Chains A and B, each alone.
Chain A
Amino acid sequence: MNDHNRLESELAALRPHEPSPQLGQRIADELNSNAPAQARWRSSRAWWSGAMAGGLIAACLAAGLLLGPAPGRNQELAPPLAPLQLPVAVAFDDALPTVWTYNRALSRSARDFESVLDKHAAAASAAGGAAPHLFIQSDMQLLLQGEL
Chain B
Amino acid sequence: MRLVRFTPLLLGFVLLMPLTATAQVLDGKSELAANAAIQYWQAFALMPALDKDQEKIVGEWSTVSLDDPAVKKLLETSHNSLMYLHRGAALQKCDWGLDYNDGISMLMPHLGKARDLARLAALDGRRAFENRNWKAGRRDATSMMVLARHINRDPVMIALLVSLGIEGMVVDLVAPYAPDIKASHTDAVTMFEALPPPVTLERSILFEKKWMGGWIVPHLKAEEARQKGAGLELWGKFLDGDAPASLKNMTTIDEVIKLVEDGIPIYDDLARLAALPNDQFAAQYPVFKQKIKAEHPLAALLLPAIDQLRAKEQRNHARLAMLLAGIAVVESGQDKLKELKVPFGPYDYRALDKGFELKSKLLYEGQPVILTIGRRK
Contacts and interface: CB of A to CB of B under 8 A. Distances in A.
Contacts of B77: 131
Contact of A88 (B45, B105, B107, B240): B105
A43 to B, nearest CB: 10
Given A99-B212, A102-B158, A48 B103 contact: no
Interface string B20-62: 0000000000000000000000000111111000010000000
A86 interface: yes
Interface in A9-65: 44, 47-48, 51-52, 54-55, 58-59, 62
Nearest to A93: B105
Contacts of A52: 8, 11-12
Given A51-B8, A52-B8, A54-B12, A122 B55 contact: yes
Interface in B267-305: 304-305
A100 B156 CA distance: 11
B223 interface: yes
A55 B55 CA distance: 53
Interface in A69-114: 85-88, 90-92, 96-100, 102-104, 106-107, 110, 113
Contacts of B104: 91, 98-100, 103
Contact of B49 (A86, A88, A118, A125): A125
Interface residues of B, number: 44
Nearest to B237: A92
Contacts of B157: 103, 106
A98 B107 contact: yes
Nearest to B102: A86
A55 B8 contact: yes
Interface residues of A, number: 44
B264 interface: no
A131 B304 contact: no
Interface in B103-146: 103-109, 111-113, 115-116
A121 interface: yes
B102 A88 contact: no
Contacts of B80: 134
A144 interface: no
B contact face: mostly helix, strand, loop, or mixed:
helix
A128 B9 contact: no
Given A47-B9, A55-B8, A55-B11, A98 B105 contact: yes
A67 interface: no
Contact of A128 (B11, B45, B116, B158): B45
Contact of B305 (A44, A58, A106, A130): A106
Nearest to B100: A99
Contacts of B11: 51-52, 55
B116 A121 contact: yes
A129 interface: yes
B5 interface: yes
A39 B113 CA distance: 57
Contacts of A110: 308
B161 interface: yes
A121 B115 CA distance: 9
A5 B32 CA distance: 95
Contacts of A128: 45, 49
B158 A131 contact: no
A128 B47 CA distance: 10
A27 B106 CA distance: 80
B15 interface: yes
Given A130-B49, A131-B46, A121 B158 contact: no
Which one of A104, A121, A125 has the highest number of Cβ atoms from chain B below 10 Å of its Cβ? A121
Interface in B212-264: 212, 219, 223, 234, 237, 240
A52 B156 CA distance: 53
State the 7 A-B residue pairs at the shortest beta-carbon distance, nearest first.
A121-B112, A55-B12, A58-B15, A51-B9, A91-B105, A100-B104, A51-B8
Given A98-B106, A99-B105, 9 more contacts: A55-B11, A86-B105, A103-B157, A110-B308, A117-B111, A122-B55, A125-B50, A128-B45, A131-B46
9 contacts: A47-B9, A55-B8, A58-B12, A97-B108, A98-B104, A99-B212, A110-B308, A118-B55, A124-B113
